[in-house]
Structure formats: C-alpha cells, structure tokens
Amino acid sequence: MADVSQKSGSKSLLIGFACFVVFEAVTYYVLRFATSGLGMSDQYQPENTIVSNWVKTVVFLLLHLLVIVVAVLVLSNQLPRRYRGQVMGWFYLALVTGFLLLIPLFD
C-alpha cells in the first residue's frame, strides 16, 4: 500500500508528454495512410459534395478513438500504480488532439 501514496513527479510527466507526442505522431501518419483512399484531394471543386470528405473525417475520428481506447486499456494494465493517474489526462488530451489532427489531414 505504500505504492498508492506516491505521486508521479515532473520527470515522469515530461516523459509521459514525450511518449504522448510520439504516439500521436505515429497514430496520425498510420491513420493518414489508412484513409488516403477516401475523400477528394481538391475539395473546392464546383460539383464537389461534402459526402466523400465527411466519410474520411468520420473514419479517421473513429479509428483514432479506437486506437486511443486500446492504448488506455493496455496502459492501465501495464503501468505501475503511481503512474496510472496520468493516463486519463493523456486520454482526454488525445480526444481533443484527434479533432485538431483533422486540420493537417485535409491540407
């Protein structure tokens, strides 16, 4: 039970942030490759509809959500108890990041 009272320090938060950035970058490039066949490259055509890019957006967000939920489940089982408090914070940040990654996805 002595393990429960210990809190993770700033060094572990910095390492967690670095791992988060690497995880999001790898996830973005893998999902960008996986959804590359969906949508239109030039979305500003006169006859363009929103449907094809909407499909790419939804597929990207759902796959991103699936990846981060699996990562949270794996991390919550593998990390020592004192670091598990960080996992939900990184999860919430990853949810917001998924929407922000849509901007470079369509550029």
Report pLDDT digits (tens) over 94-105: 999 998 988 888
Q: Residue 87: its pLDDT value, please?
A: 85
Q: Residue 1: its pLDDT value, please?
A: 43
Asked if residue 39 is part of any domain, the answer here is: no
Asked if residue 25 is part of any domain, the answer here is: no
Distance CA 29, CA 55 (A): 18
Asked if residue 42 is part of any domain, the answer here is: no
Closest CA to 64 of 32, 40, 89: 32
Q: Residue 52: its pLDDT value, please?
A: 62
Report pLDDT digits (tens) over 1-48: 444 545 667 888 888 899 899 999 999 999 999 888 776 666 566 665
pTM above 0.85, yes or no: no
User: Which residues form the domain of 77?
Assistant: 58-106
User: What's the total number of domains in the chain?
Assistant: 1
Asked if residue 29 is part of any domain, the answer here is: no
Q: Residue 29: its pLDDT value, please?
A: 94
